[in-house]
């Protein structure tokens, strides 16, 4: 099975030509936003849009800092067959006073068009662009991104990889029920819908256990098993790996043939359309990574995160590995990997968090063909839920953060009411990023789940906007050159 066929490439080219023609009239950048393991995609998009519309603090976003951004506003999105990103609902959740809460996680693809009017830097630019840029934000679950490598795998190859993975720590502790059930299945037995559904259910439970905060594992395809959406209960996501050989053929009418058929249908009808119709049309991409969760879960989670990034990197086809895409200029030419939740650390550890993710990404880049694209790494908090202070503990002055823990959590046996602030020392990340990836080093940093901050004006007479950490730097890298 090839990643893309000539027919697929033709469809991608036609889509690229249509986007290019449209962009000549209405200059547009398509920004893909995804993330792994509850990393904050919805919060990032909401904060991005809210800060540009309401005049947030973005000193490192060059066109904004230079005063060239006139106004930003939302318009109807270009793709009528894609759900709209529920921006207004998410803002309402975040600003609901004493009931404020973080928005629900991304479960389906969605889109939003943000139009920005600006003052171009030169006469020619003013004539060509008219000083308007559409930013089409495409939000999709990270689980869908992790499905793209399936385009290169047969059912037998995927089954073999899943079984190998299930036998490694800590997955071996979580896969016992599934592997026990699998041992009682005969791939050559006649197909049986009830048995297939039971196997798929136990396999899905295993994947869900891997995603738990205690383990924080990342490589969990097929993604729709965890984010089924409108496919819930469909035969397209009712299959599971079997112990079968790639050198043999599935007997007609067998369990093996049934599983194989459904896997291939999943790849053809679910994964490939997402790649061609959405992913291959992106200009820029940000991948949000909950690096702290992986560090807290231990070295196995960090290794799994590295494997996930190494696996997905070729899917971006950075710089345009397709000749036709290169000729048409349609490619992902900037990719930002962002370590989120930097506000859970004192600012003295922000650069260290960034260095840790950079080390992880460098390993992924070394195993991919990434020439031709700009790739950067940042540590950020799209919405900052803490402020900083210093506390004294056992006579020692400690750099700390202050935030409002969610109701119901406990520390040293004490519960939280969800209203009161608490000062906490989250710990320090090692200066040497390599040490943070060693056993036990990352676990020195612990953090609580916090509530969103109270939205306050930036100054007298100014509109309120969400506080952030390095959101401006991320915007400058991803979008700054679009305002030339």
The tens digit of pLDDT for each residue in 90-112 reads 999 999 988 999 998 878 899 99
| Average pLDDT score over residue span 270-279 | 91
Q: How far apart are CA 293 and CA 215, in angstroms?
A: 9
H helix or E strand, kind and range, residue 338? strand 334-339
Q: 468, 458 in Cβ contact below 8 A?
A: no
pLDDT, residue 328, reads: 47
**Residues contacting residue 22 through CB under 8 Å, at least 6 positions apart:** 28, 78
Cis ω before 249 (30° cut-off from 0):
no
Q: 353, 292 in Cβ contact below 8 A?
A: yes
Domain residue spans of the chain: 6-140+278-384+469-483, 148-269, 387-444
Residue 343, CA distances (Å) to 125, 353, 385, 450, 466 in order? 38, 11, 7, 10, 13
| Average pLDDT score over residue span 418-445 | 78
The helix-helix angle for 41-54 and 471-479 (nearest 10°) equals 90
CATH architecture assignment, domain 6-140+278-384+469-483: 3-Layer(aba) Sandwich (3.40)
Of 283, 326, 307, the closest CA to residue 368 belongs to 307
CB atoms within 10 A of CB 203: 23
Per-residue burial over 277-313, b = 16 or more CB atoms within 10 Å of its CB, e = otherwise? bbbbbbbbbbbbbbbbbbbbbbbbbbbbbbbbbbbbb
Q: 200, 239 in Cβ contact below 8 A?
A: yes
Least confident interval from 152-166, 258-272, 361-375: 361-375
Q: 458, 44 in Cβ contact below 8 A?
A: no
Three-state secondary structure call for residue 349 = helix
pLDDT, residue 318, reads: 58
Q: How far apart are CA 398 and CA 121, in angstroms?
A: 46
In sequence order, what E strands does 121-272 have? 132-139
Q: To the nearest whole number, what is the mean pLDDT of the chain?
A: 86
Q: How far apart are CA 271 and CA 236, in angstroms?
A: 11
Which 8-state DSSP code applies to residue 454?
Answer: P
| Average pLDDT score over residue span 43-70 | 95
pLDDT band of 316, cuts 50, 70, 90: confident
Which sign, positive or negative, has the C-alpha torsion 278, 280, 282, 284?
A: positive
CB atoms within 10 A of CB 26: 15
Residue that wins the pLDDT comparison between 28 and 365: 28
pLDDT at 19 over 50: yes
pLDDT band of 214, cuts 50, 70, 90: confident
Q: How far apart are CA 300 and CA 213, in angstroms?
A: 13
pLDDT, residue 51, reads: 96
**Residues contacting residue 330 through CB under 8 Å, at least 6 positions apart:** 12, 13, 16, 19, 20, 280, 281, 283, 320
Of 305, 311, 316, the closest CA to residue 360 belongs to 305
Q: How far apart are CA 57 and CA 117, in angstroms?
A: 18
Specify the long-range contacts of residues 225-233, CB closer than 8 Å, at least 24 apart: 225/200, 226/143, 227/107, 227/108, 227/141, 227/143, 227/144, 229/107, 229/108, 230/108, 231/270
Alpha helices in 211-349 (DSSP H): 255-266, 272-277, 291-297, 299-312, 323-328
**Residues contacting residue 318 through CB under 8 Å, at least 6 positions apart:** 331, 332, 333, 335, 368, 369, 370, 371, 372, 373, 375
**Residues contacting residue 372 through CB under 8 Å, at least 6 positions apart:** 318, 319, 320, 331, 333
pLDDT, residue 129, reads: 54
Least confident interval from 1-5, 137-141, 198-202, 444-448: 1-5
pTM as predicted: 0.89
Q: How far apart are CA 446 and CA 411, in angstroms?
A: 11
Residue 223, CA distances (Å) to 90, 371, 410, 429 in order? 24, 28, 32, 31
Token representation of residue 75: 């318009």
Q: How far apart are CA 43 and CA 58, in angstroms?
A: 16
């Amino acid at each position: 099975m090839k990643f893309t066929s000539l027919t697929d490439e033709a469809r991608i080219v036609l889509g690229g030509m249509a986007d290019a023609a449209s962009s000549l009239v209405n200059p547009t950048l398509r920004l893909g936003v995804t993330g792994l393991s509850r990393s904050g995609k919805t919060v990032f998009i909401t904060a991005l849009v809210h800060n540009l519309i309401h005049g947030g603090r973005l000193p490192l976003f060059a066109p904004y800092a230079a005063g060239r951004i006139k106004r930003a506003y939302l318009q109807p999105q270009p793709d009528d067959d894609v759900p709209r990103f529920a921006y207004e609902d998410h803002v309402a959740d975040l600003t609901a006073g004493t009931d404020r809460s973080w928005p629900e996680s991304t479960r389906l693809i969605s889109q939003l068009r943000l139009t920005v009017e600006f003052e171009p830097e030169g006469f020619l630019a003013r004539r060509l662009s008219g000083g308007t840029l559409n930013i089409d934000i495409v939000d999709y679950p990270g689980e869908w991104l992790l499905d793209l490598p399936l385009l290169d795998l047969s059912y037998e190859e995927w089954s073999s990889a899943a079984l190998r993975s299930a036998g490694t720590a800590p997955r071996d502790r979580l896969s016992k029920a599934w592997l026990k059930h699998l041992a009682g299945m005969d791939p050559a037995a006649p197909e049986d819908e009830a048995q297939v559904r039971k196997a798929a259910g136990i396999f899905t439970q295993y994947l869900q256990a891997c995603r738990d905060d205690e383990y924080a594992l990342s490589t969990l395809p097929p993604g729709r098993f965890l984010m089924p959406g409108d496919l819930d209960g469909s035969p397209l996501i009712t299959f599971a790996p079997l112990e079968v050989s790639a050198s043999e053929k599935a007997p007609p009418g067998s369990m093996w043939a049934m599983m194989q058929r459904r896997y291939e249908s999943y790849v053809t009808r679910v994964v490939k359309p997402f790649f061609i119709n959405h992913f291959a049309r992106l200009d820029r991409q940000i991948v949000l990574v909950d690096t702290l969760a992986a560090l807290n879960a231990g070295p196995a989670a960090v290794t799994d995160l590295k494997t996930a990034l190494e696996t997905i990197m070729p899917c971006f086809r950075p710089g345009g590995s397709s000749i036709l895409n290169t000729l048409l200029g349609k490619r992902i030419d900037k990719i930002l990997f962002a370590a989120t939740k930097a506000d859970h650390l004192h600012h003295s550890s922000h650069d260290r968090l960034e260095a840790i993710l950079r080390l992880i990404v460098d390993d992924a880049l070394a195993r991919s063909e990434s020439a031709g694209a700009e790739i950067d790494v940042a540590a950020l908090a799209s919405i900052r839920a803490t402020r900083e202070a210093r506390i004294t503990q056992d006579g020692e002055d400690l750099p700390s953060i202050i935030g409002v823990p969610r109701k119901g959590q406990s520390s040293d046996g004490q519960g939280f009411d969800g209203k009161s602030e608490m000062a906490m020392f989250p710990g320090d990340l090692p200066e040497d990023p390599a040490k943070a990836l060693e056993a036990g080093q990352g676990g020195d940093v612990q953090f609580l789940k916090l509530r969103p901050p109270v939205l306050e004006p930036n100054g007298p007479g100014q509109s309120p906007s969400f506080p952030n950490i390095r959101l401006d730097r991320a915007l400058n890298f991803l979008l700054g050159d679009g305002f030339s």
